[in-house]
Amino acid sequence: MKLLDKYNRISLLTTILVIIVTGFIYYFTISYILTDQVDKDLVVEENEIFEHVKLNHNLPEVFKSEDLKILFKNIGQDTMPRQFSNTQFWDDKEKEQEAARGLQSWVRVNGVNYSIHIIESKVETEELIRLIFLITLGIILLLIIALITINRLVIRNLWQPFYDMLRQIKLFNVTDQNSITPLTTGIEEFRDMNEEISAMSTRVKQDYQELKTFVENAAHELMTPIAVMNSKLDTLIQTGGLNDEQGTLIGDMYGTMGKLTRLNKVMLLLTKIENNLINDQEALDVRATIETACSEFQDLAYNKELRLHTELTDVTLFMSKTLLDILLGNLLGNAIRHNRPGGVVTVKLNQQALIIQNTGKFDALDASTIFRRFQKASDSEGSGLGLTLARQICENNGFRLQYSFEDHLHTFTVNFK
How does pLDDT run across 158-209, given as a tens digit for each residue?
Answer: 888 888 888 888 888 776 767 777 777 788 888 888 888 888 888 888 887 7
Angle between helices 188-239 and 244-274 (to 10 degrees): 150
Q: How many residues does the chain have?
A: 417
Segment 339-344 long-range contacts (CB within 8 Å, at least 24 positions apart): 339/304, 339/306, 341/304, 341/305, 341/306, 342/305, 342/306, 343/304, 343/306, 343/307, 344/306, 344/307, 344/309
First to last CA, the chain: 29
Average model confidence (pLDDT) across the chain: 81
* Residue 384 to residue 387: CA distance in whole angstroms: 7
Q: What is the pLDDT of residues 346-399, one digit of tens each?
A: 999 999 999 999 998 667 776 666 776 555 544 445 445 778 888 888 888 889
Q: Are 344 and 307 in contact (CB under 8 A)?
A: yes
* Residue 26 to residue 19: CA distance in whole angstroms: 10
- For the chain, the maximum distance between any two Cα atoms, rounded to a whole number of angstroms, is 156
The DSSP letter of residue 315 is -
Q: Are 414 and 354 in contact (CB under 8 A)?
A: yes
* Residue 150 to residue 154: CA distance in whole angstroms: 6
Which residue did the predictor score with more confidence, 287 or 65?
287
Query: CA torsion sign, 167 to 168 to 173 to 176?
Result: positive
| Amino acid letter for position 320 | S
User: Which among 52-56, 76-80, 215-219, 307-311 has the top mean pLDDT?
Assistant: 307-311
Q: Is 402 helix (H, G, I), strand (E, B) or coil?
A: strand
